[in-house]
Chain A
Amino acid sequence: MSMFSIFSVSGSAISAQSQRLNVVASNLANVDAVAGPDGQAYKARQVVFQTTPMGADSSAGVRVSAINETNTPGRRIHDPGHPSADAQGYVTHSNVNAVDEMVNMISASRSYQNNIEVMNTAKSLLLKTLQMGQ
């Protein structure tokens, strides 16, 4: 039954997209984080998707091969009264770009929905196949 591998393919995509959504959530949560005691502000993380073969011939699933940190410099805001301000009075915030993350979130959510729909269609087709000849 070659259609059963649709579930593993779409399942891998759903898990990859939810991991992407997870990373977006942690980026958005840390959008205003300032440098901690180690002097390093939060760095935005991005998932890297990679195609992975799934069992049967020509089935291509997807997996998260790495989670990279973006190395753009963090936002520096002049706020001399802030306890984390440096000698020049600047506070280093995280380098998260909230607009980028929102776009990422919408894209992940749409892909997730697409794959759920694929699974639902495959499920109803398989159920109808089971009833063949009745």
Chain B
Amino acid sequence: MLDKMTDQLGFHGNALLLRAERQRAIASNIANADTPGYVARDVNFAQAMHEATGSSTSTGAARLASGGAGAAGATDPRHIPLPASTTGIGPRSTLGYAVQSQPSLDNNTVDLDRERANFVDNAVRYEATLRFINGQSKTMLSAIQGQ
């Protein structure tokens, strides 16, 4: 019964971890905005969330543990799967390369305006997820206390 109660919390917990992961990737991009040759990275949140929630079933958990959801990110079954990430959630394969909008001479692909917008957007969504968690835990607590 308890796992049903905390199931929804687990979903938002995964979302929170992925948001933190994306926040970190964007922070790296902003830090390297002036580094020649740096290639901007970004987390494909939809895909990462899909993989993370798929892992809540038993087969998915084994799949995620065995290394980056099989051949995630591969477009052909013959592709060699990428190594699993060292962090528990958000396998490395969900970390993609941001598409360049304005090529620069020093091969840096960071678009600072876009990164800043992404950063703020991600921060707001992180906070929203936090509020979901807070609200749900409050709901659950009041249900337990029966007041």
Q: B34: which of A1, A12, A107, A128 is its contact (CB, 8 Å)?
A: A107
Interface of B is mostly: helix
Q: How long is the Cα–Cα vector from A54 to B130 in the complex, in angstroms?
A: 26
Query: How many B residues, CB 8 Å from partner?
Result: 37
Q: A9: which of B24, B85, B92 is its contact (CB, 8 Å)?
A: B24
Q: For residues 1 through 48 of chain A, which have their beta carbon under 8 Å from a beta carbon of chain B? A: 1-3, 5-6, 9-10, 12-13, 17, 20, 48
Decide if B27 touches A10 in the complex (CB within 8 Å).
yes
B30 CB–A CB distance under 8 Å: yes
Decide if B133 touches A59 in the complex (CB within 8 Å).
no
A110 → B minimal CB distance (Å): 8
**A-chain residues with CB within 8 Å of residue B126 when the two chains form the complex:** 125
Decide if B130 touches A57 in the complex (CB within 8 Å).
no
Interface of A is mostly: helix
Chain A residue, CB-CB nearest to B26: A118
B111 CB–A CB distance under 8 Å: no
Decide if B33 touches A133 in the complex (CB within 8 Å).
no
Q: How long is the Cα–Cα vector from A115 to B112 in the complex, in angstroms?
A: 11
Chain A residue, CB-CB nearest to B37: A51
**B-chain residues with CB within 8 Å of residue A48 when the two chains form the complex:** 36
**A-chain residues with CB within 8 Å of residue B133 when the two chains form the complex:** 132-133
Known contacts A57-B87, A125-B23, A129-B130; A62 and B95 CB within 8 A of each other: no
Q: A118: which of B41, B85, B86, B119 is its contact (CB, 8 Å)?
A: B119
- Inter-chain residue pair count (beta carbon < 8 A): 101
Decide if B24 touches A125 in the complex (CB within 8 Å).
no
Decide if A62 touches B20 in the complex (CB within 8 Å).
no
Decide if B33 touches A111 in the complex (CB within 8 Å).
yes
Decide if A5 touches B31 in the complex (CB within 8 Å).
no
| Interface bin, chain A | 35 or more
B6 CB–A CB distance under 8 Å: no
Known contacts A3-B23, A6-B23, A57-B87; A62 and B31 CB within 8 A of each other: yes
B43 → A minimal CB distance (Å): 9
Interface string of A44-81 (1 = CB under 8 A from B): 00001111001011111110000000000000000000
Q: How long is the Cα–Cα vector from A127 to B118 in the complex, in angstroms?
A: 20
**B-chain residues with CB within 8 Å of residue A133 when the two chains form the complex:** 133-134, 137
Q: What are 10 pairs between A and B in contact, CB < 8 Å?
A: A2-B21, A6-B24, A9-B28, A50-B35, A57-B86, A58-B92, A117-B116, A122-B27, A128-B127, A129-B16
B residues whose Cβ falls under 8 Å from a Cβ of A: 16-17, 20-21, 23-38, 41, 85-87, 92, 95, 112, 116, 119-120, 123, 126-127, 130, 133-134, 137
